[in-house]
Amino acid sequence: MDFKDYYKTLGIERTAPEEEVRKAYRKLARKYHPDVSKEPDAQARMRDINEANDVLRDKEKRAAYDALADRVAQGYGAGEGGRGNYQPPPGWDKGFEFHRGPSQGPADHAEFSEFFSSVFGKGEHRGAQNRQYRARGEDHHAAIEISIEDAIKGVEREIVLRSLEVDAQGQPAFVNRTLSVKIPAGVHPGQFIRLAGQGMPGHGGEPAGDLFLEVRMAPHKLYRVDGRDLYMTLPVTPTEAALGAQVHVPTPAGHVVEVTVPPNARSGLKLRLKERGFPGKTPGHLYLLLDIALPPADSEAARQAYVQLAQAAPFDPRRHLTTSGV
């Protein structure tokens, strides 16, 4: 097995204080937690992140790990095959008593690596016999996908979370739990909703951690999300674009507003409906992108109308493509 660099796993320096360890863990958990991430190796990455957090958030484990890392740097513990055959030196953990850190329960420990078990397994068991560890439960991260309309108006949804717990026989097992979540009006993509006490259970009578839900927007047939703003393609007829018109436009809040299309409008022209995007302290806007839709020439009358238009209003849309000297 390989020696694991827990500092590298969390992307921090060896001198990082506990608060920096916590922030690094939360950042990576938001990215790789299986309930949130779409990365193919998310489960394995999250195991390594949990393992590193378990060690570096526990002062005694961290001190022992640092001492072990110093010995590794001096060449102790490497087998005949080099770094890949690493084994902890005999008696390296003398004077240390390990216990389960604030981030993990016994079920999570079952998913840790061979390196973790070989280094901390015996010491952790010894420490558990001598004292009971007290710590707040670790926070949990998940994602919830809602519609744009629900984000603007607010909605109550049920979500199912999968967590690893210990069954009656003391074996790790995945358990599903259902939560009813109230999504407040005005949430926006990427926002986190905190549910107090719905994270991992605490240890030694301490409270559970919190659940952080990342809000994601489901694809919409009319609107495209860009931060707090929304974009919509607005089809108009050639007559409306040429002469100008008043057209009716639906908004994601469920209203219908009248919009002025200016004369001689072209496809791609952007019209802004102020503060019709996601609400908030700084409301977003709804942008309308004009798209001139041509009537089909699928009848003799329609074809004659196009002929008459070409004769009455000659127009060459490619005149700007002419280059000098050609």
Is 1 contained in some domain? no
Q: Which of 193, 164, 132 is nearest to 33 (CA)?
A: 164
Residue finishing a domain among 75, 101, 130: 130
pLDDT of residue 119: 58
Residue 115 CB burial class (10 angstroms; 0-12, 13-18, ≥19): middle
Query: Domain total for the chain?
Result: 3
Higher pLDDT, 181 or 169: 181
CATH of the domain at 91: 1.10.287.110
Is 24 contained in some domain? yes
Average pLDDT over residues 270-283: 92
Q: What is the mean pLDDT of the chain?
A: 80
pLDDT band at 110 (very low <50, low <70, confident <90, very high): very low
Q: Which of 237, 120, 263, 140 is nearest to 197 (CA)?
A: 140
Same domain, 244 and 172: no
Whether residue 183 has pLDDT greater than 80: yes
CA distances from 1 to 4, 39, 88, 113 (A): 9, 25, 11, 9
CA distances from 85 to 5, 9, 64, 77, 102 (A): 15, 20, 20, 9, 30
How far apart, in whole angstroms, are the C-alpha atoms of residue 218 and residue 225? 10
How far apart, in whole angstroms, are the C-alpha atoms of residue 10 and residue 1? 20
Q: Which of 152, 226, 229 is nearest to 186 (CA)?
A: 152
Each residue's pLDDT tens digit, 52-75: 888 888 887 888 888 878 877 776
pLDDT of residue 89: 53
Average pLDDT over residues 22-47: 83
* Bridge partners (DSSP) listed for residue 166: 172
pLDDT of residue 75: 67
Host domain of residue 300? 223-312
Same domain, 83 and 158: no
Q: Which residue has the tokens 């022992």?
A: 64
Same domain, 200 and 124: no
